Structure 1
Amino acid sequence: MAGIMASVDQRTQLVGQNRLELLLFRLNGRQLYGINVFKVKEVLQCPRLTLLPKLNPIVRGVAHIRGGTLPIIDLGRATGGRALEDLSTAFVIITEYNNRVQGFLVRAVERIVNLNWSDVHPPPKGTGRDHYLTAVTRVEDQMVEIVDVEKVLAEVLAGDEALPQQATTTEAMPEATGSRILVVDDSSVARRQIIRCMESLGIEVFALNDGRQALDWLKQQADQGRDVTEDLLMMISDIEMPEMDGYTLTAEVRSDPRLKDLHVMLHTSLSGVFNQAMVHKVGADDFLAKFSPDELADRVLARMRGAGVEHA
C-alpha cells in the first residue's frame, strides 16, 4: 500500500488540467467507490482501535497514528450500508477535509486511476435526495461512485449548520442588501452551508452544481446582454466538481472578455495540500478552505467594501 501512495505528491501536479486521480476502494460488496487522491494523506492496514464512550456508532473507534488521535469512520455504515465486520483485513484511508483529519474504514483498496473531469458526471436522475454521491464515472466498464465525504462528515461529526458570528447577533448586514452571489459546488451539504451563511447576511444566492453548468449559465447571461460583473458581487466555486473543476472554470471565465472581471473565490475542502500557486495561475482573486462561516462572511463583506457597495 505504501507503493500506491508513494507518488501522490507528484500526481497532484495534474491539478489545473481538468484532471483528477481517484483512489478506488470497496466497502462490503463489489461496488467500486472513489476518493480524490488530493485529499488522501495515507493508506494503511486498519490499526488497533480504541473505543470511547458516547462515540457516534458510525465511528468505530479512535486510532493513534503518527502521534495523533484520529476518529475512524466506518464508511459503509455512514453511507447507509452494513458495518464492516472483519477489521483484521480492512484498510483505513487517512484523509484531510475542511481542516479535519480522519480515517475512513474500508474493506479493500484497489488502485489509483487517472481521469478527466469531463468523464465524471453528476449522479443519475432518480438517485433521490438521500444518496451519498457527488458524482459517478466509469473505469474499465465498471461504475465508480464518488462519495460525498462532506455530507458524511456533516452527519457524523456535525457542525454543518454554523452561522457567522455577526449574523447571530444582527439581522441582515445593511451593505449586503441587494447583493447577489453565484455559488458553484457539487456537494449538497456545502451548497447548503454557503447559502445559509450568505442568506444570514442578507445576500441573495444563485447556486449551481458544477463548473460546466456555471460556465454555460454565465455565458448565457452575457449572450442576453447582461453585465455579469455588475449583476454578481462574486462567484464562490468549489474546486472538485464533475464535468469541469473550479480551476478550469476560473480559467474559462478569465478568457472570456465579457466575464473576465468577475470576482472569483475558490472555496475548497483541500485544506491540507491546497495548491496556492495554482489558484493564482488560473487567475482566482481569493481562496478559502472550507468551512469557516465567520471567515467566509468576512471575505464576502470585504469584497463588498472593495466593490464599493453602499449601505442601503
Structure 2
Amino acid sequence: MSTSAGKLAERTKVAGGNRMELLLFRLNGKQLYGINVFKVKEIIPCPKLTNLPHHTPHVRGVAHVRDGTVSIVDLGMAIRQPAMQNPESHFVIITEYNRRTQGFLVREVDRIVNINWEEVHPPPRGSGKNSFLTAVTQMDNQLIEIVDVEKIIASVDPFAQGVSAEILTDEVKQAAANYHILLVDDSSVARHQVERNLKETGIGFTSLTNGKEALDYLNAMADEGKRVQDELLMIISDIEMPEMDGYTLTRRIKEDPRFANLPVLLHSSLSGIFNEAMVKKVGANFFLAKYDADELARVVIGQIQAVAGEKV
C-alpha cells in the first residue's frame, strides 16, 4: 500500500468509528483550542504579511503561500482577544473551508490528538449566540475549546448566497411545500445559511445540532408508529458534530430497517478524496462540499422529483 493510500485508509478508519483527529494550538494564553486536522493543509512559520487597506481588523494581511495569495486572520482577535504581537515569531495554519483557502495566525501549535466524538460536547449554554466555539472537550484534565471556523470566516467575508431564480420556478415552490427535510448542523452560521435556502425553495424543515439529536428524533418518530419515509423527504447533515458525527449518523440510519431507505446528503466544509471514500463506506446517497446554494437546491429538487414521479 502506498503512503498516501495508507493515510487515507487510516483516516477512514478513524472517522468511520465516530472519531476525529484534532489539531491543538494556543493563542494569547495557556488555553488550548482545536480544529479538525482534515481541514488543515499545512502549518508554516508566519510569512511576510502585506497590509491591506479597508480590511476587517483581524485580517492581519495577505501572504504568498505556494502559488497563491492567502489572507491571514489573527485567530485571537477573531474570537475577541487582543491582537497577537510580533506575528513573524508565530505560526500560520493554512486551512481549506467551504472551498476557500484561509490562513489563521496562532501563537504556537501544540499537538494532534485522536478523540471520540462522544467525548465532544456542545459549548456551555452560557456562552451565548456570539460565541465562536462550536464544541468543547477535555484531555488530560484540560478543557479544549473547538473553534467554529465557519463563523469566523463569515465574520471576515460575509457569505450570503441565494438560490438562482431560474431554479426556483413556481412549480418547484408549489411541489416543495408538500415535503419536509431534517437538517443537522452544529455550526449556527452554516445551519442558518441552509435554512435560508430551504425557505427560498419553499420546503419545510426541522433543524437539529448533532447526530445524536437526529437519531433520537428519528427513533421517537418511529416509536410513535410513523413511517419515517412518509414524514421526511431526506436528511441534510454536516459531518463534524459533537456527540455523534455525520458519518456515524448515516451508518446508523442505513443499518436500521425503519430508516434505511431515507436519503442522506452529507454536506460539509471537508472536501476531497477522503470524503468520497467515507460517503461510499457509510452509505450516504449524496455528498456536497459547502457551499453552493444552487447545488444544494438541485439535489433537493431532484429528490422531490424522484418521490413525486413527475417533473417539477
TM-score with structure 1 length normalisation?
Answer: 0.93
Offset of residue 35 of structure 1 = 0.5
Task: Indicate how the Cα distance of structure 1 residues 167 and 105 shifts in structure 2: closer, same or farther if over 3 A, else same.
Answer: farther
Q: CA deviation at 1:295?
A: 0.8
Amino acid in structure 2 at the alignment position of 1:178: N
* Separation in structure 2 between the aligned mates of residue 167 and residue 219 of structure 1, nearest angstrom: 38
Compute the displacement of 1:205 (Å).
1.1
Counterpart amino acid of residue 136 in structure 1 = V
Task: Indicate the residue corresponding to 1:307 in structure 2.
Answer: 307
Aligned match of 1:267? 267
User: Counterpart of 1:3?
Assistant: none
Q: Deviations over 1:41-71 (max 9, x none)?
A: 0001111111122222211111101111001
- Note the 1:24-173 alignment, pairs <5 A: 24-159=24-159, 161-166=160-165, 173=173
Opposite residue 189 of structure 1, the aligned amino acid is V
Alignment of 1:225-244 (within 5 A): 225-244=225-244
- Structure 2 counterpart of 1:210: 210
2:168/2:201 contact within 8 Å kept: no
C-alpha distance 169-181 of structure 1, shift in aligned 2 (>3 A): closer
Residue 89 of structure 1, CA deviation: 1.8
Contact 1:239–1:268 under 8 Å retained in 2: yes
Q: Within 2, Cα distance between the matches of 1:35 and 1:181? A: 29
The 8 Å contact of residues 167 and 201 in structure 1, kept in 2 or not, is answered as no
Structure-2 separation of matches of 1:259 and 1:170 = 31
**Per-residue CA shift, 1:76-116, capped at 9, x if unaligned?**
11111111112132110000001000100001100001100
User: Are the counterparts in 1 of residues 23 and 37 from structure 2 also a CA contact under 8 Å?
Assistant: yes
- Decide whether the 8 Å contact of 1:137 with 1:144 is kept in 2: yes
Counterpart in 1 of 2:289? 289
1:272 to partner: Cα distance: 4.2
- Return the letter of the residue paired with 1:55: H
Q: Aligned-pair distance for 1:16? A: 1.1
Identify if the C-alpha distance between structure 1 residues 158 and 168 changes in structure 2 by more than 3 Å, giving closer, same or farther. Answer: farther
RMSD, aligned CA: 1.9
Letter in 1 for 2:44: L
Q: For residue 280 of structure 1, what is the aligned residue in structure 2?
A: 280
Which amino acid in structure 2 is aligned with residue 201 of structure 1? T
- The DSSP-based 3-state class of the residue aligned with 1:28 is coil
Give the secondary-structure state (helix, strand or coil) at the position aligned to 2:125: coil
For residues 154 and 310 of structure 1, the distance between their equivalents in structure 2, rounded to whole angstroms, comes to 38
Deviation at 1:166, TM superposition (A): 2.2
Relative distance call for 1:287 and 1:169 in structure 2 (3 A) is closer
CA–CA distance in 2 between the matches of 1:169 and 1:266?
A: 22
Q: Is the 8 A contact 1:97 1:269 kept in 2?
A: yes
Paired with 2:33 and 2:209, the residues of 1 have a C-alpha distance of 20
Amino acid at match of 2:45: Q
Q: Which amino acid aligns with 1:59?
A: V
Higher deviation after alignment, 46-55 or 182-191: 46-55
CA distance in 1 between partners of 2:152 and 2:54 (Å): 18
Change (3 A) 1:169 1:50: same
> How far apart, in 1, do the equivalents of 2:303 and 2:100 lie?
27
Structure 2 CA distance, aligned partners of 1:303 and 1:246?
20
CA distance in 1 between counterparts of 2:44 and 2:202 reads 46
Question: CA deviation digits over 1:131-185, x for unaligned, max 9?
Answer: 01110000110000000001111111111x2111128976772221121100000
Q: Which amino acid aligns with 1:36?
A: N
> More displaced, 106-115 or 79-88?
79-88
2:298: which partner in 1? 298
Structure 2: stretches of 5+ with no match in the other structure: 1-5
TM-score by length of 2: 0.93
* Off by >4 Å, runs of 4+ in structure 1: 7-11, 167-172, 309-312
Give the unaligned 5+ runs of structure 1: 1-6
